[in-house]
Chains A and B, each alone.
Chain A
Amino acid sequence: MARYIATRLISSLILLWIISVLVFLLMTALPGDPTLKGTFEMTAENREIVRERLGLNDPLPQRYFDWLFPALQGDLGVSLARTVGTVSISTLFERRIPATVELGILSLLVVVTVAVPIGVLSALKPGSKREVAAGTAMIVGNSIPEFVTGIALILVISLHFDLLPVGGYVAFTEDPIENLKRMAMPVLAISLTATTLLMRQTRSAMINVLSDDYIRTARAKGLRERAVVVRHALRNALIPVITIFGFQAGLIFSGAVITEQVFNIPGMGRLFVESVVVEQDYNVIQNLVMFFAVATLLVNLLVDVSYTLIDPRIRTGGRSA
């Protein structure tokens, strides 16, 4: 098992390294000059001074390693758009990360706790009419963009019933209740699409498994239905479900970028949008991509670990136990 996790970890790290090279090349090779994107115009001489100070005149490999090595130690460099004074990206990130991480974790939790039980229950009695209706409902749920769900929630829950605040962020350490109140609607908006997708996967995986021979055996030996479903069927159905769950990490992070915009949450997604649309800050964008890559890989690593917990075949590395 340790070996399996280790190989997954190493391949994740290689993937991260490839992404870091690609992102670096993208941000440097494209036309345009960060010193031209500032809020005021600089003379050619001043630009040259700024370029020299920021290390933009160094050769490419040196620039790459000048970014990589400090980044590995937690120093992500300075913001380029904010050339007046120095704004450390690490400080910028420290302030923005908690909201997005909380949003991501809560959404993943909601998706799992809602999608898996409903998916399982709907698989137990597959009637053809009901199946079509459920499938159709899931496609409809899948067709609503996060920002529409978010705005609809604001209109109904905040504006009409006045139950929750319309947005903003309060740190959990400051006021846990207020924090959760403000997180509730964004989390719902992010989770809708991912939930319908996972529900569909759980359902079809369960239907597949329930027709297997060992389920008939389990029933024949007199196990209660509950034990058959939970211990025999669900455990086997979970493997494809977990795989899909890994893919959904990306969906949830994409959703967070948009939802943070709708609910005015000062997280990494909002910083991303500001850096792309308003400031075109290459250095920040480059580090933001790495943040989302690391976050997605972490979820996938979690998925790999849970494989080993559920499936003894993976735990023993394919050897017969």
Chain B
Amino acid sequence: MSGAPTPAGSAVRPLARVGLRERHWYREARAIGRVYVRNRPAVVGAVLLIGFGLIAAFAPLIAPADPYLPATSREGVFNPPSWDHLAGTDHLGRDVLSRVFFGARIAWQIVLVATGVAVGLGVPLGLLAGYVGGKLDELVIMRFVDAVMMLPGLVLILALTGAVGPSITNTMLIIGVVWSPGYARLTRGVVLQIKQEVYVDAARAIGATPARIMARHLLPNVVAPIMVLASLSAAGIILVEAGLSFIGAGVQEPTPAWGRMAAEANKTILTRSAWPIAGPAIAIILLVMAFNFVGDGVRDAFDPRLRNIR
């Protein structure tokens, strides 16, 4: 993909120890980093992501109140933002800002686990389809991938949720399953290209098993495109999860998932107050935006054509 094939999988070991600065992956990473930091929105996105990461990691320390603690009197519910409650309180009088902070944990958890599941399912499937090829590829795996990818994402997710019931674990797994065909298709495409390379023939000639060729020679070439796809699809995962929790088919009350908080707040926007919806809505938009900017930046950074532009 990116210029010279990665030597990570080659059978040749360096004779002498090579200094860090001369290592291939080090120079590669430096080049990628240089292109990335040129893209200002991508840097802003990365800073936002780190911010959300810190909030998620230290939520119990920085949250001003207990996210599950309801108010003890009627005066405590539907409060507008104030110094005591920076984002106001919800219909039960819980502090919205604290719930938004804890919600960051849910969001990160879902992105990481869903992406892990998608990569874990899609990449082996794509390796198999691309390397083994033939009927398995044409008639089984790719037809399956086509069928899954043709359906609107939310429809498929809802159908699967209908089958196993809504919960946070199911939501993460289902989003992973629904996102996996994209990884399978991408991996297959890369493998079909790399398969023609001489070093794959050479490996086969010295008697490497298909499993070894896939793991040592094909897989390393897939890593960079997979990272790009993962960072591009994170925003979509957050949006789908928020939508799913909003309609009640995702994370359930009282877990402070942003989409669920927005749905609870939505029940009373016409009768009581619209304030409780502001916190989760802004959080969703900021995190999705951050992932979108980072995704764009990562895609450009891995594009070798952009390396020599100053």
Contacts and interface: CB of A to CB of B under 8 A. Distances in A.
A146 B285 CA distance: 11
A151 interface: yes
Given A19-B147, A154-B269, A257-B247, A139 B285 contact: no
B270 interface: yes
Contact of A26 (B153, B163, B249): B163
Interface string B141-176: 001101110111111101111111110000000000
A286 B151 CA distance: 13
A15 interface: yes
A273 interface: yes
B159 A26 contact: yes
B163 to A, nearest CB: 4
A139 B293 contact: yes
Interface string B246-288: 1111000000000100110010011000100100010011001
Contact of A277 (B156, B247, B269, B285): B247
Nearest to A138: B292
B71 interface: no
B274 A155 contact: yes
Given A22-B147, A143-B292, A148-B284, A257 B269 contact: no
A132 B297 CA distance: 13
Interface string A296-310: 110010000000000
B41 A136 contact: yes
A258 B41 contact: no
Nearest to A276: B162
Contacts of B165: 280
Contact of B151 (A261, A281, A282, A296): A296
A293 to B, nearest CB: 6
Given A143-B285, A143-B289, A145-B284, A251 B152 contact: yes
Interface in A156-182: 159, 166
A143 B237 CA distance: 11
A27 interface: yes
B292 A142 contact: yes
A105 interface: no
Interface in A278-300: 280-282, 285-286, 288-289, 292-293, 296-297, 300
Contacts of B146: 15, 18
Given A148-B262, A148-B281, A261-B247, A276 B155 contact: no
- A interface: dominant SS: helix
Interface string B209-248: 0000000000000000000000000010001101100111
Contact of A151 (B148, B161, B269, B289): B269
A216 B248 CA distance: 55
A281 B158 CA distance: 12
Contacts of A19: 147, 150-151
B296 interface: yes
A56 to B, nearest CB: 15
Interface residues of A, number: 51
Contacts of A54: none
A48 to B, nearest CB: 23
Contact of A293 (B150, B166, B248): B150
Contact of A276 (B148, B161, B266): B161
A226 to B, nearest CB: 33
A87 interface: no
A198 B281 CA distance: 24
Contacts of A18: 143-144, 146-147
A191 to B, nearest CB: 15
Interface string B184-198: 000000000000000
Contacts of A277: 166, 247-249
A281 B164 CA distance: 12
Nearest to A260: B247
B151 A147 contact: no
Contacts of A98: none
Interface string A121-162: 000000000001000100110111111100100110001000
**A-B complex: 7 closest residue pairs judged by Cβ atoms:** A254-B154, A250-B152, A276-B162, A143-B289, A143-B288, A253-B152, A292-B155
26 contacts: A19-B151, A22-B144, A22-B147, A30-B163, A32-B163, A132-B41, A139-B292, A143-B285, A147-B262, A147-B266, A148-B281, A151-B281, A159-B270, A253-B154, A257-B158, A257-B243, A257-B247, A258-B246, A262-B266, A272-B155, A273-B158, A276-B166, A282-B162, A288-B155, A289-B156, A297-B150
